[in-house]
Amino acid sequence: MKFIIKSKTMIVDNRIEEFVHRKIGPLAKIIPHSEIIPVDVDIEKSTHHQKGDVYKVVVQFLLKGNRLIRAVGRKETFSLAISKVREALEVQIKKYDHKPESKRKKTLKVSME
């Protein structure tokens, strides 16, 4: 997995990058097709809430067959938001992995006679 980490509202430093790699990186083991895929990670910190800061983490990537896997987590701390995203990604990847190949991608088979 190759991570592309972006943020408009906060500075992405090495500590944040390492945390994302440590939490979301192991999901590469359960992806059905072991290929290097770019993973987009968007981090946003909004401060306009009454109860304090809210972190929003969006992770998305494409699997084989143009299947988009996307998860969004909103929590009070960055680590809780990443954990929520990781749980959602695990569910989606396992759901995709257990789907029969015939239902993953419907293609039209044309025979040349």
- Residue 6 located in a structural domain: yes
Burial class (CB in 10 A: 0-12, 13-18, 19+), 80: middle
Q: Which domain holds residue 55?
A: 2-104
Nearest Cα neighbor of 56 from 46, 70, 65, 66 is: 46
Tell me: pLDDT of 91 over 60. yes
Local structure of residue 49 (DSSP, 8 states) = S
Give the mean pLDDT of the chain. Answer: 82
CATH number, domain containing residue 35: 3.30.160.100
Tell me: pLDDT of 82 over 90. yes
Nearest Cα neighbor of 7 from 50, 61, 46 is: 46
Number of domains in the chain: 1
- Residue 112 located in a structural domain: no
- Residue 14 located in a structural domain: yes
Q: How far apart are CA 39 and CA 93, in angstroms?
A: 14
Q: What is the pLDDT of residues 24-71, one digit of tens each?
A: 988 888 877 666 788 899 999 887 767 778 899 999 988 777 788 899
Local structure of residue 34 (DSSP, 8 states) = -
